[in-house]
Structure 1
Amino acid sequence: MKKAVFIILILSSFWSYSQKKVLQAQPISQYITIDGKLDETAWENAPIATDFIMFEPDNGKPITEGKKTEIKVLYNNDAIYIGAMMYDDEPNKILKEISQRDNFGTADIFGVFINGFNDGQQNFEFFVSAADVQGDCIMTDAIGEDYSWDAVWISKAKLTDKGWIVEIKIPYAALRFSGENKQTWGINFFREVKRERKKYTWSLIDTKIGTFTQQNGDLVGIENIKPPTRLFFMPYASYYLNAADGQKTYGTLKGGMDIKYGITDAFTLDAILIPDFGQTKYDDQILNLGPFEQQFNENRAFFTEGTDLFNKGNMFYSRRIGGKPSVDPDLNDNEEIIDNVQNVNLINALKVSGRTKNGLGIGVLNAITEKTFATIKDTISGETRKVIVEPLTNYNVLVLDQRFRKNSSVTFINTNVTRNGEFRDANVTGLAWDLNTKANTYNLSGNIKHSIINDTEDKNGTFATVGFAETSGKYRYSVGGDFVTKDFDPNDLGINFYTNYYNFYGNANYRILNPTKLFNSFRINYNMYAEFNKESGKVQDNSINANLNLTTVKNNYYGLGFTFFPLESNDYYEPRAENRYVIIPRKFEAWASVSTNYNHKFAIDLNPSISIADQSGRMAYGADIGPRYRFSNKLLLTYTFSYFRKNNNKGYIDSVDADDNESTPEIIVFANRNVITYSNTLGGKYAINSAMTINLAVRQYWSYAENKDILELQQNGTLTPYPQYTDNKNSSFYSWNADLSYSWWFAPGSQVSVLYRNSAANFERVIDKQFKDNVTGLLNNDALKHIFSISVKYFIDYNAVKNKLRKRA
């Protein structure tokens, strides 16, 4: 009898968790004060969402009575209101580190996920931490959580002797929903108990299924509301004071405005009328000895916020817009560049994006950069002239993304760059697909892209990839391959380095889906890869890899992996000449990683690695070590030291003419060199309160390559001594960046930013191996630049202004 009762209880529990949950929203007429108290009478009779279920690590386990969570939802003509009570049987242990917006640090979190169309395609997610810090993002299964998206809403969190409370007001202008009289929204609620590293949701998110946005519950009862006019203005004013040793100090005042307009219920127009990116994060520049440019992260909010559509097919690299000029000026004898532009100015930019109720996502992005000149001087006569290095240029991206069955999509993408006059134009068109079975157990993905370049010599190229994967269960696998022609070139508005090859790859992995006595997570991966030059059929790359990643029950992370390259490969890129290659020997690589639990005041990250080649003395090794200490809920300091060394590295340094006979190929000069890199990074945060923080970011970097032997690349890919080459091609690059900033969110969507930055960089052929001399020399020479800036932006909601004017009338 007891056994039967137990089985009935288990089945009834499973039945309740597997059914779609429904919550009734309560209409109100009274004013709600967002103070974290929930003391208005409207909260008393509202229906309650409870019975939360664990998302991670023990997926499907009910929340304990001591962590009971109760949520209520109200609404009126202007906004939806969420009241949340998070009970905690040990309230004095609630973690509540104060951090910057969208970065919760070590703190408990509450969140609400809303899908106004209830179509399983996209959630608008709003979070509040126990320290009263806001965060928000857009969530799609294809891209994940995009925290670059920012909305304007109001919240307040308060701790009590029973746990903590959150009260939220989300204006309808921050959401997307239809104009129907009766609304049914997709909704879910989230809670993380940080000290236990446990995450819970109201509607079960089954991790075996492999989808997130399709497992919401339903919010019903919202009636007779209308989508508001979504028109927002964000005027800004900035002042920059620039100084450098030996140069005149000058100030610059800038002003402009960003506009966001809801064209329809689903589509939004974003526009920059006068861009100002002066306070964006600095780039972590490196000594780049390879054949390809360094790829940088995008730090400009306009090009990161809500750009999930534009990232389909990996065809859009936004740093091309306003990046380096596309033309290198031709110099006559005795001429030099005295004013070379590093970045082209952006005149304006706009984007339109959204998705219809039938699942068609449409994205259009357009930007224009100005005509740009470099100044060239004749060193004998002193005369100067200006040369165009970038004409007036238009950048355009078009995306049509059709989703169906809530978990699959087919996407058309086109990128186009049109330059004024007789300059290079480029057009790339792609078709991408991401197809999943109804049960989300198998996936077929891929894309095909075609580039057309109109230049002094026109060229066309094609890139195609396809992959198949099992995406559910403990055991999973994937297989696939790529095919790329020689003239595929998306680099005017995208980024792609490797061409003229085909490859095959495979992966098999095992993971635990629920915790064990030892591990909260555990995963083993096995990977194989083979790549061949399309024309010669030679092996360009090959590897066998195995790695292990796990998290212990004490929430410490450990990783370990090795890669074996069993065959010699042929590098067609390092020689930087057509149809030339250098042989890369067989090698073995190994790495390890440790990251202790950030819940503790002191934590540390450690990442050592080693690579040993099948060639005398050729190896590489290094490590990153990063301690961090949280002095209080307000003060956090982090530090990372990195050291990496390559011994007997072989790399390109120059090309020289063999003789006057044009049929004789040029001599490709390599060097046998040691490459040593040091970097020190210091980060700090002091939070005055949840709206006001002081932040520190310092990076010192030094890397040098010391050539020991000069080598000539032979036609068969081998290297032989070439002592007659005597030019000094040693390289030493060192840089310094330091940012000290103050940020104050003084009103919803409105911010004051104060930044002091000093930075310097220098490249030399003479190597001074005294670390202290390099750093102090860099900080004491004319290269050090100082910038002090103040920026104020203010958020204006058309609806709020209209309502105030009506009340005054």
Structure 2
Amino acid sequence: MKNHLLLCFLFISVFGYSQKKTLQTKFISEKIEIDGNLDESIWQSAAVATDFIMFEPDNGKAIPENKRTEVRVLYDNDAVYIAAMMYDDNPDKILREITQRDNFGTSDIFGVFINGFNDGQQDFQFFVNAADGQADCITTDTNGEDYSWDAVWKSKAVITAKGWIVEMRIPYAALRFSGENKQTWGLNFFREIRRDRQKFTWNFIDSKLGTFTQQTGVLEGIENIKPPTRLFLLPYSSFYVNADSRQKTYGTLKGGLDLKYGINDAFTLDMILVPDFGQTKYDDQILNLGPFEQQFNENRPFFTEGTDLFSKGNLVYSRRIGGNPINYPTAAANEEIIDNPASVNLINALKVSGRTKNGLGVGILNAVTEKTTATIRNNVTQEVRKEIVEPLANYNVLVLDQRFRKNSSVAFVNTNVTRNGSFRDGNVTALVWDLNTKKNTYNLAGDFKYSYINGVEDKKGINSQLNFSETSGKFRYGVGADITTKDFDNNDLGINFETNYYSLYGNTSYRILNPTKYFNTFNARINAYSQFQKETGKLQTGNINFQINSNTKKNHYFGIGFDANPVETYDYYEPRVADRYVIRPSKLGGFIYISTNYNHSFAIDFNPSYAVFDEAGRNSYGFSLGPRYRFSDKLSLNYNFNFFRQNNNKGYIDSINEDLNLATPNTILFANRNVITYSNTLSGKYSLNSQMTFNISLRHYWSYAENKNTLSLEQNGRLMDFAGYADNKNSSFYSWNADLSYTWWFAPGSQVSVLYRNNAGAFERNINKEFRENFTNLLNNDALSHVFSISVRYFIDYNEVKNKF
């Protein structure tokens, strides 16, 4: 009898968890004040969402009674209202660090996830932390959370004797839903109890499944509302003062306008007119000794917000838009380049994106950059001439992404760059698929890309990949392959380093789904990757690695990894000449990392690594050390120091022509060198409240490569000693960035930002190893520039203006 009762209980529990919970809401005509008090009587008549279930770490466990959570939802003609009561048996221990928007900090969190089409494709997520801070994002299973998306909504969090309360007003203009009279929305609620590192949701999210957005509950009862006119204007004005040793510029005033318009219930138009990216974060430049360009993060808001569709196929590297000119100016023997712009100005940009109720996502991105010229002076006649380094250019992206069965998609992607005049144009077309079984247990993903370059010589190339993986359960695996032809080139609007190869790869992993005696989470993974030069079949990369990542019961993170390149490989990229290669020795390395619990006022990250090569005296080692201290809920500082050393590293330095009768270089030179890198970063914040924050960000970087002797690359890929080369090819690069800022969200969606920054950089062939002297010289460098700026952006919602008048 007991066994039958137990089986019945388990069946009901599993069946209950697998079903979507439903919450009924009701229409209101009275005003609700968003003050966190819940003293309006209408709240008491609303249905209650409760019985939250743990998402992490003990997936499926019910929330304790003394931490129970109760949520109510109401609506009117303009917005949906949420009231949440988070009970806590010890309110004094509720963590409540004050942070900037979209930064949770060390705080308890409440969130609501809304899908106005209830199609399992995309959630609009709104969070409030216990310090009254806001965060919001768009989430898809394919691309995860996009916190660059910002909506305008109201919230208030209040700590009480019973726990804490959140009250929210989310206007319909911040959501997407159909024009049907009777609405059915996907809905879930989220709560994190930070001191316990426990996360709960109202509708159960089974971590064994490879999906998040499809496991929401349902909101019913919303009727006879209409999607509002989604027209938002964001005018701005900025004032800059620039100063350095060479010139001073005062009173630079800029202004412009960003616009967002809801074309219909699914699609949004974003436009940027007269762009101003003067307060965008500096790039963290490094000493780049390799054959490929350094890839930078995109920090411009227009190109980071709502770009999930444009990431299909990984064809868009938006830093190309307004990036470096495509050509370098040519100067004769008696000429001097006196001005060569490092970047191209953006004239304007727009994007249209959205998804229909039938699952068709459409994305259009267009940007225009201006003609850019370099200035060249004749040192004999003193005449000055202009040379075009980047013509007027149009960048365009089109994406059509059809989702079906709520968890699979097939997409068509096209990127095109057209330059005015007889300059290079580029076009890439791709078919991308992401297919999942109905229960989200297996995945088949891949793409086929075709590139066409219209330049001096037309080029056509292909890139394609296919991988299959199991995506659920404790044990998972994946296998795949890809191929890239020699002339595949998507670098006009994308970024791609390696061509002319095919590869095979696989992985297998094990993870715990619920906590054990020692671990909250534990994951072990083995990866294997092999890459072959397509024409010769020579092994370019052969790597196998093993990693363990874990979170202990006290919420300390620990990981260890081993990495091996067990055989020699052939590097076709480092020689910088077609069809030449250098043989790389086998290698064995490893690392560990420790990250203590950030809930504590003091925490530290430590990550040492070591690798040894099958070559006399060649090895590498380093570590990163990152202590952090939270002085109070308002003040915190994070410091990070990185050191890395490579002994007897072998790398390209030059190509020369020993036979003067040859038109092209016939000798490729490498250096046997030691490469040492240091970097120091310090970041911190002081938050007056959730709307006002002072921030500091400092970075000092120094890396140098000291050549010990010169080597020549033989035809068989081996390196031999080379005498008689006297050029100094040592490299030493220093950089310094400092940002001090104050931000104030003085009204919904409206911000004042005051910024002081200075930065400097220097590249030298002579290496000075006195660290303090180098640092002092860098700050006293003539290239040290100073910028002071004030920017005001004001958010105007057409609906609010209409209602007032």
Instruction: Tell me if TM exceeds 0.5.
Output: yes
> How far does the alpha carbon of each residue in 1:609-648 deviate from its partner, in whole angstroms, 9 at most, with x for none?
1111100111111010000000000001000000011110
Alignment of 1:472-511 (within 5 A): 472-511=472-511
SS of the residue corresponding to residue 214 of structure 2 reads: helix
Could you say which residue in structure 2 is the equivalent of 1:796? Answer: 796
Could you say which residue in structure 1 is the equivalent of 2:448? Answer: 448
Could you say which residue in structure 2 is the equivalent of 1:572? Answer: 572
Alignment of 1:381-780 (within 5 A): 381-662=381-662, 666-780=666-780
Maintained 8 Å contact 2:153/2:174: yes
Letter in 1 for 2:646: K
1:242 equivalent in alignment to 2:245:
no
> How far does the alpha carbon of each residue in 1:157-208 deviate from its partner, in whole angstroms, 9 at most, with x for none?
0000000000000000000000011101000000000000000000000111
Structure-2 separation of matches of 1:36 and 1:322: 45
Could you say which residue in structure 2 is the equivalent of 1:26? Answer: 26
Letter in 1 for 2:85: M
Deviates most, 786-795 or 244-253: 244-253
Could you say which residue in structure 2 is the equivalent of 1:331? Answer: 331
> How far does the alpha carbon of each residue in 1:383-422 deviate from its partner, in whole angstroms, 9 at most, with x for none?
2211111000000000000000000000100000000000
Maintained 8 Å contact 2:655/2:665: no
SS of the residue corresponding to residue 200 of structure 2 reads: strand
SS of the residue corresponding to residue 215 of structure 1 reads: coil
SS of the residue corresponding to residue 689 of structure 1 reads: coil
Maintained 8 Å contact 1:186/1:218: yes
Structure-1 separation of matches of 2:336 and 2:470: 58
Maintained 8 Å contact 1:679/1:702: yes
Maintained 8 Å contact 2:94/2:195: yes
Could you say which residue in structure 2 is the equivalent of 1:166? Answer: 166
Alignment of 1:340-359 (within 5 A): 340-359=340-359
Offset, 1:658: 2.3
Maintained 8 Å contact 1:700/1:737: yes
Letter in 2 for 1:599: N
SS of the residue corresponding to residue 103 of structure 1 reads: coil
Maintained 8 Å contact 1:444/1:466: yes
Structure-1 separation of matches of 2:658 and 2:425: 35
Maintained 8 Å contact 1:658/1:664: no
Offset, 1:429: 0.4
SS of the residue corresponding to residue 203 of structure 1 reads: coil
Unaligned runs of 5+ in 2: none
Structure-2 separation of matches of 1:392 and 1:63: 60
Letter in 2 for 1:169: R
Unaligned runs of 5+ in 1: none
Structure-2 separation of matches of 1:734 and 1:660: 37
Could you say which residue in structure 1 is the equivalent of 2:77? Answer: 77
Structure-2 separation of matches of 1:228 and 1:665: 66
Structure-2 separation of matches of 1:591 and 1:382: 59
RMSD over aligned CA atoms reads 1.0
SS of the residue corresponding to residue 774 of structure 2 reads: helix
Structure-1 separation of matches of 2:754 and 2:254: 14
Structure-2 separation of matches of 1:470 and 1:717: 40
> How far does the alpha carbon of each residue in 1:562-588 deviate from its partner, in whole angstroms, 9 at most, with x for none?
111111001100000011110100111
Letter in 1 for 2:778: L
Could you say which residue in structure 1 is the equivalent of 2:211? Answer: 211
Alignment of 1:255-404 (within 5 A): 255-404=255-404
Alignment of 1:24-63 (within 5 A): 24-63=24-63
Letter in 2 for 1:464: S
Letter in 2 for 1:177: F
Structure-2 separation of matches of 1:41 and 1:393: 60
SS of the residue corresponding to residue 802 of structure 1 reads: helix
Offset, 1:5: 4.4
Deviates most, 658-667 or 52-61: 658-667
Offset, 1:123: 0.3
Structure-1 separation of matches of 2:697 and 2:499: 37
Maintained 8 Å contact 1:24/1:221: yes
Offset, 1:331: 1.3
Offset, 1:3: 5.4
Offset, 1:6: 4.7
Could you say which residue in structure 2 is the equivalent of 1:253? Answer: 253
Deviates most, 613-622 or 372-381: 372-381
Letter in 1 for 2:720: T
How many residue pairs get matched? Answer: 805
Offset, 1:546: 0.8
Offset, 1:664: 7.6
Maintained 8 Å contact 1:530/1:543: yes
Structure-1 separation of matches of 2:598 and 2:638: 12
Structure-2 separation of matches of 1:248 and 1:79: 50
Structure-2 separation of matches of 1:438 and 1:544: 32
SS of the residue corresponding to residue 774 of structure 1 reads: helix
SS of the residue corresponding to residue 185 of structure 2 reads: strand
Offset, 1:803: 0.9
Offset, 1:209: 1.3
Maintained 8 Å contact 1:109/1:191: yes
> How far does the alpha carbon of each residue in 1:343-395 deviate from its partner, in whole angstroms, 9 at most, with x for none?
10000000000000000000000000000011112234332211111000000
Maintained 8 Å contact 1:118/1:185: yes
If the length of structure 1 is used for normalisation, what is the TM-score?
Answer: 0.99
Could you say which residue in structure 1 is the equivalent of 2:124? Answer: 124
If the length of structure 2 is used for normalisation, what is the TM-score?
Answer: 0.99
Structure-1 separation of matches of 2:635 and 2:40: 36
Change (3 A) 1:495 1:72: same
Maintained 8 Å contact 1:417/1:493: yes
Maintained 8 Å contact 2:235/2:793: yes
Structure-2 separation of matches of 1:67 and 1:596: 26
